[in-house]
Structure formats: structure tokens, C-alpha cells
Amino acid sequence: RESPGKRRHRGHFHSPEIMCPAMRPDEDDVPLDGMSGDELFSGRDGYTYSDYIILPGHITFDAQDVTLDTYVTRKVKLHLPFVSSPMDTVTESQMAIHMALYGGLGIIHCNNTMEEQCAEVRKVKRFENGFILDPFCLPPTATLAEVDAIKHKHGFSGVPITDSGKLGGKLLGFVATRDHDFVKDRSTVVKEVMTQQLVTAPEGCSLEQANKILTDSKKGKLPVVNKSGELVALISRRDLRKNRDYPHASKGASKRLLVGASIHTRPEDKTRVAMLVEAGVDVVVIDSSQGNSRYQEEMVKHIKATHPDVQVVGGNVVCVSQAKNLIAWGVDALRIGMGSGSICTTQEVMAVGRPQATAVYHVCKYARKHGVPCWADGGISNVGKISKALACGASAVMMGSMLAGTDEAPGEYFYKDGVRLKTYRGMGSIDAMSKGTSADRYFSTDAAVRVAQGVSGAVADKGSLKRYLPYLSTGFCPPLQDIGPQ
């Protein structure tokens, strides 16, 4: 049995994974101060991040030279080790978009309908593209009101016009804002206002060649057509600017932003997975408070058999015995944490779990032998704890409360006692379980009486991720510099 520490900084340790030569005993056998990671975590006690502190190492590089690149699954590599939690008060499309733009990854929650979740995924995949392979098109008989509807619903003001009104039809023209901005009658058909003299790129050209044509033409959009003049793709100038402004954005082979989505282990979630894959999801996170179950085994094996290109993250786990099973079933990464979040009460209510630092250290040590990255999920409340999680072996940290309260998190701001706040709640709270599918996470869907494993609360306004994420990514580099790993 393990019990969390009662006081802060009960141990000092050097993690073997990050120990630099200057931190080792010299020829005179001068003993190391403190303990190694193995020594600290090998006992029967369990430690949270607040129960120990890491001793400094030898600095040989600047803080800005710290390498942050990391694999978050067997195949997905990110510039930042940050993943947003699949909670309905943390991650929808805006959070996922900004996480990806700055080099992290957003996991869209599933406490909604399948259609709603897939719509959020599509918003992320459409936000920034290389070749846009599914642009919205209209026929020449469409009205300006239909153009307005596309702009209102999806945010796109430029629409290619084809004879069929679909991708693959013969390109007839293009409608942009400048073509109809001053036309009052919105029932006007687009063929009366569309631009017909177009600059196009040939099918088969590289993205670099297409971007050069777009830059030289000084146009906002560049249609890509085949030899028959049929539209096959589209390039956007706005995406060129995004590539310039966000050089470390997380993108897949298609040059679209990476996005993940959570699911549960109910039979109907197999349909949800298929719909998410069709929407373009890159990573599927099986969201369960206890991942070592036959339900998760069935789901992992199903996804790997039917959608082999999708990366599957299993969990949650806190023990090596749990991790061993999930790795054997075929997961591409693990989530570590049970009851360690700020609004999660599993450890208190269910008397099950493990202190987070101990869980991360032991599971990561085992998973590393099998090439499986791990996410430290829970207990991350500042940049120091990010550093501690990484020092314990985590490839990435999953953040909930640290990202809740930002402009990009779902929900509206409200004021209490003069403080600007946003709602933040655990997915095991009664509020969350009553709203959607969250009860599946705790195997409580059919329960007559549901036992809460989380609470609802509020977090202070943190502003926009455009300022907050650069602060976080820069802020935990000095701690790593002090420790010694580059």
C-alpha cells in the first residue's frame, strides 16, 4: 500500500534519465547529494509532485537551447509536450486549434453527440491546410445568400464555382468578398458577380510550386485544376501567413493541423470512432478512469484492426500491471493518473488510485522499454510540476485546470466578487455526467444512483492562449536548464 506524503519536499532526487556527467560521483567517490529516482520511488511510500524537489545539475547551455520536441504516441511527434484534456470545459475546436498552432495537441471531449464532436474535429482540420481537398463549392445558380451562409457557418468568404456545385466539377469562376460586398440584393445569383479570369495551378504540382504561384499572383485563393479544367483542390493565402506565423505548428502528412478526440468503451463508440476517422481525427484517446478492463481491451483491438492508421491512447493507468496489459493490447501511448486532478475526487470517494509522481515514474520506466510514450495526466498546476512530470519520464503533460479559464476554453465568463471566472468541472461530477456521455468514463451509465468522482468549480480568467502558451513553453525551460537536460 502507498500513502501520499503529509509534508512537502520529503525527498531530493536526480532522475537517472536526465543525470548529466557532472552530477555523478567523481574519482574520489564523493557521494551524490539526495537520492536517485530509483532510490526515491523504490520504497513503499507514494509521492505526489509536492513531496520532493529536484536537485540542480551542471548548466552548459542557455535556457532557449532546451529541446522540447517529443513523441506523444509511437508515430506522432510534437514541438511542445503539451496536451489539452478532453473535458467539456477545456477542449473544443478553438482550444485544439491553438494547441496545435503552438506545437501541442488538443483532445476534443466526447461529452456530446457524435455529430457535434465530429463537427469540432472538422473545424480543426479545415483551419489550416496545405492543399484543401474538400473546399466548399457552389453552382453558378446559387445565390449570394448561400455564400453568406457558408461564411457565417464556416468562416470562409471565398467560394469556387463549378458546374456541378461540387469538387470535381468544371471550374467556372470564383466568388470573393470584393465581388459582392456592395450588392444589396442577396438573391443575386453568383454567376452575375463571380470572377471568371482565374489564375490556377495544375494538378500534380508540389505544395511549394503552388505557393509560389499564389504569392506571384497576389490572389487570396488558388484553385488547382486537372487537364479537363475540373477543380481538384484549393490553396489559401491565409494558410501561407499561418505557416509564417506558426512555424512549429503540429501538422500531419497532409499539412493539416493535428487533432485528437476522446471516446468511451460502449459498443456505440465503435460508430463514433468510424465517424471521427472520416472527419480526419489523428489520435483517439480512450477516456476511462480505469483503463485495465475488458471493455478497453475490446475497443483497442477493434480500433487497431479497423483503423490501423489512427494512433490509440489507452488509460488511465497508475500501475505497471495495468500498463503491461494495455501495451500488449496494442496502444500507441498511455495516460497516467487516477484521481490526481484538481477537481477529481476518485482517490477520496473510491479509495483507489496512486500518488501521481510515483505512478508516472514506475509506469514510464516500464513503458519506455516497449517504446510507448506516456502522458502525465493530473496534478499539473504550474511550470515546476511540468518539469517534475518530465523528469519522472513522461513524454508529455495533459493539462486541464491550467488551460481552463482561457479565452479559447468552452463556456462564458462570469463575475463573482469582482473576479472574472469561467466554469471548470470534473468529468466525474454530477453536472458533467448529467449532460452527455461522461458517465461512461466511470462505468456509471446504467446506475440508478450515480456516485460523483469529481466536482464543479470555477477558475480565474487566464486570457488568451496566444499569450499564455508562449509563457508556459518558455517558463519551464529554465527549470530544465537548472536540472541539466538539454
In this structure, the strands spanning 11-14 and 52-54 are parallel
Cβ neighbours for 104, distance < 8 A, ≥ 6 positions apart: 78, 79, 80, 81, 82, 83, 84, 250, 469
**End-to-end CA separation in angstroms for the chain:** 36
The question of whether 241 is a catalytic residue gets the answer no
CB 314 within 8 A of CB 326: yes
Beta bridge partners of 361: none
Cell of 361: 515514474
- Give SS3 for 151: helix
Cβ neighbours for 257, distance < 8 A, ≥ 6 positions apart: 96, 97, 100, 101, 124, 125, 127, 128, 249, 250, 251
Q: How far apart are CA 55 and CA 33, in angstroms?
A: 8
Cell of 364: 514510464
Helices 294-306 and 269-279, interaxial angle, to 10°?
40
> 170: number of CA atoms within 13 Å, CB side?
5
- Which residue, chain included where needed, has cell 525527498? 11
CB 361 within 8 A of CB 393: yes
Phi and psi torsions of 20, nearest 5°: -95, 160
The question of whether 392 is a catalytic residue gets the answer no
Cell of 332: 500507441
Task: Pick the catalytic residue from 126, 137, 441, 477.
Answer: 441
CB 273 within 8 A of CB 265: no
**Diameter over CA atoms, the chain:** 88
AA letter at 181: D
Task: Pick the catalytic residue from 110, 118, 137, 344.
Answer: 344
Residues with active-site annotation: 344, 441
